[in-house]
């Protein structure tokens, strides 16, 4: 069996289920970020790694500034999903020796701009040659207060909300505001599309879900199927209890008047009936046939 015959999620689940996690691990594999205990009694340590590969996540002709920006913002978007504060980043650049030095410098400028946007220090890095395409792996470390850590797993039957915006700036500010002001049951960032990610949140929370299709925000010119199946939204999908709904919508609009928050459906007690069949999101190693 080859990687193309098995999805990323199933493979990660398979290989990681055999790893014994230490008891200091609060959230581990399968969540947006790893969250672990340290000697710090107030905060938890938060870790995330992600990568972009030429030909997979960006075109080889892409502007290196944008590639760097995206490479940094992807893991930071997972910090938003955890309501964590990112602090330090490590960068691994894998590049063929024919790569132009100027391209690499622009790449790091993009990485650096994105890091500065959220006061993240790039503290280390490694470079390697390769006979293949350019790949950039970014690891980020930070913290979250014990009482503000959010995972995919806390979803309860009730409302599900999703906010949508076109410009890709990770929703760290919004996420931190949310956990300061509301009890957020479960949260994740939409990187593989609602159709792949919402079932993951529901599964992790052991609940069912129902989307109200008519409420889904759809970008101009796109169809509802695109809104569900296309990845790289990097918007927050989160769940609050039904009785917080109206207070949240009012406060949100006051705090972030230019960023749409939409109630897209609800979580329900688990029963097979309660899982809608959705157009699939993007799964690594597997493309919809």
**Residues within window 16-35 making contact with a second copy, judged by CB under 8 A:** 16, 18-22, 24-25, 28-29, 33-34
Q: Would you count residue 91 as binding a second copy (CB under 8 A)? A: yes
Burial of 169-208, coded b for 16+ CB within 10 Å and e otherwise, reads bbbbebbbbbbeebebbbbbbbbbbbbbbbbbbbbbbebb
Q: Would you count residue 80 as binding a second copy (CB under 8 A)? A: no
Q: Which of residues 107-146 bind a second copy (CB under 8 A)?
A: 108-109, 112, 116, 119, 121-133, 135, 137, 139, 141, 143
Q: Would you count residue 172 as binding a second copy (CB under 8 A)? A: no
Q: What are phi and psi of 181, to 5 degrees?
A: -115, -15
Q: Which of residues 223-252 bind a second copy (CB under 8 A)?
A: none
What residues form DSSP beta bridges with 239? 160, 186
Least distance to a second copy, CB of residue 99, Å = 5
User: Which tokens sit at 107?
Assistant: 């790449």
| Closer of 170 and 265 to a second copy (Cβ) | 170
Q: What are phi and psi of 53, to 5 degrees?
A: -125, 135
Q: Would you count residue 273 as binding a second copy (CB under 8 A)? A: no
Least distance to a second copy, CB of residue 238, Å = 20
The C-alpha atoms of residue 86 and residue 75 are separated, in whole angstroms, by 9
Which range of residues in 85-93, 171-179, 202-210, 220-228 is near a second copy by CB under 8 A? 85-93
CA torsion sign, 88 to 113 to 49 to 230? positive
| Closer of 146 and 156 to a second copy (Cβ) | 146
Least distance to a second copy, CB of residue 214, Å = 35
| Closer of 124 and 183 to a second copy (Cβ) | 124
**Cα-to-chain-centroid distance, residue 190:** 5
User: Which tokens sit at 182?
Assistant: 């509301």
User: Which tokens sit at 19?
Assistant: 């790893």
């Amino acid at each position: 069996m080859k990687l193309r015959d098995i999805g990323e999620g199933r493979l990660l689940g398979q290989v990681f289920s055999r790893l014994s996690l230490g008891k200091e691990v609060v959230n581990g594999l399968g969540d947006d970020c790893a969250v672990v205990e340290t000697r710090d009694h107030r905060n938890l340590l938060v870790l995330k790694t992600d990568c972009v590969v030429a030909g997979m996540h960006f075109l080889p002709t892409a502007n290196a500034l944008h590639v760097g920006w995206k490479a940094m913002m992807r893991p930071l978007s997972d910090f938003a999903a955890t309501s964590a504060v990112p602090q330090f980043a490590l960068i691994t650049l894998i590049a063929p020796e024919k790569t132009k030095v100027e391209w690499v410098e622009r790449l790091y400028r993009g990485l650096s701009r994105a890091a500065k946007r959220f006061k993240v220090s790039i503290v280390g890095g490694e470079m390697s040659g390769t006979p293949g395409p350019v790949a950039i792996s970014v690891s980020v470390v930070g913290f979250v207060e014990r009482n503000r850590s959010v995972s995919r797993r806390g979803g309860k039957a009730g409302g599900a909300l999703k906010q949508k915006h076109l410009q890709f700036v990770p929703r760290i500010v919004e996420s931190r505001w949310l956990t300061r002001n509301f009890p957020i049951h479960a949260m994740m960032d939409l990187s593989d599309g609602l159709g792949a990610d919402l079932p993951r949140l529901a599964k992790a929370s052991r609940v069912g879900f129902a989307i109200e299709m008519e409420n889904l925000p759809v970008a101009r010119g796109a169809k509802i199927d695109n809104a569900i199946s296309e990845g790289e939204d990097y918007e927050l999908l989160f769940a609050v209890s039904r009785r917080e709904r109206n207070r949240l919508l009012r406060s949100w609009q006051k705090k972030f008047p230019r960023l749409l928050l939409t109630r897209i459906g609800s979580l329900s007690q688990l029963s097979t009936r309660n899982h809608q069949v959705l157009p699939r999101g993007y799964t690594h190693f597997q493309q919809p046939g």
